[in-house]
């Protein structure tokens, strides 16, 4: 069910005119960590969908959907990272502006090298002020 929702989000949401427009890929199996439950102000963006597509041997493109309803020019979701089971960071993506008028939003990161033997990765969102945190998504990859 999560994979179907992830695919629907990835297909339904567009980019902001950058060269990293999302594409329609076949989703991989994905699981999500729970979203924050505190009634306080949200401190981190939530990763709500990830699609991993193998581009070549050991090289992947990640279509990532993030929700950060607090986005303003002063504070916004400013990126994500792709982390292996052993905490190795395989890729980081930087966002240079807020997406206040586009929530949730989807972007693509291409050319991420994942070594043989790694069969799943987790995508974590980053906030300009508070750093990494919030809901994450783990995807299986065929590597």
CATH number of the domain bearing residue 108: 2.60.40.10
- The helix, strand and coil proportions of the chain, stated in percent and rounded to the nearest 5, come to 10, 45, 50
Backbone angles phi, psi at 2, to 5 degrees: -60, -40
List all residues 6 or more positions away from 54 whose beta carbon is below 8 Å from its beta carbon: 60, 141, 142, 143
**β-bridge mates for residue 121, sequence order:** 139
Specify whether the CB–CB gap between 125 and 70 falls below 8 A.
no
List the domain range (segments joined by +) for residue 127.
2-140
Question: Is pTM beyond 0.85 here?
Answer: no
pLDDT tens figures, 22-58: 333 334 445 544 444 444 578 899 999 999 999 999 9
For residue 13, CA distances in Å to 38, 46, 68, 120, 127 come to 27, 15, 14, 24, 21
Q: What average pLDDT does this structure show over 122-138?
A: 95
pLDDT tens figures, 60-113: 999 999 998 777 788 889 999 999 999 999 999 999 888 878 889 999 999 999
Position 117 confidence tier, pLDDT thresholds 50, 70, 90: very high
User: Which residue, 129, 132, 128, 29, is CA-closest to 87?
Assistant: 132
Number of domains in the chain: 1
């Amino acid at each position: 069910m999560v994979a179907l929702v992830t695919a629907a989000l990835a297909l339904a949401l567009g980019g902001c005119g950058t060269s990293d427009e999302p594409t329609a890929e076949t989703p991989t199996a994905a699981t999500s960590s729970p979203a924050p439950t505190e009634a306080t102000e949200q401190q981190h963006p939530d990763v709500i969908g990830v699609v991993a597509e193998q581009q070549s041997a050991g090289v992947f493109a990640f279509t990532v959907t993030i929700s950060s309803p607090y986005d303003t020019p002063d504070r916004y979701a400013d990126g994500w990272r792709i982390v292996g089971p052993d905490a190795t960071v395989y890729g980081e993506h930087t966002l240079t502006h807020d997406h206040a008028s586009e929530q949730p939003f989807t972007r693509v990161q291409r050319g991420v090298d994942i070594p043989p033997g790694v069969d799943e990765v987790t995508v974590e969102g980053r906030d300009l002020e508070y750093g990494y945190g919030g809901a994450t998504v783990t995807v299986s990859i065929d590597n």
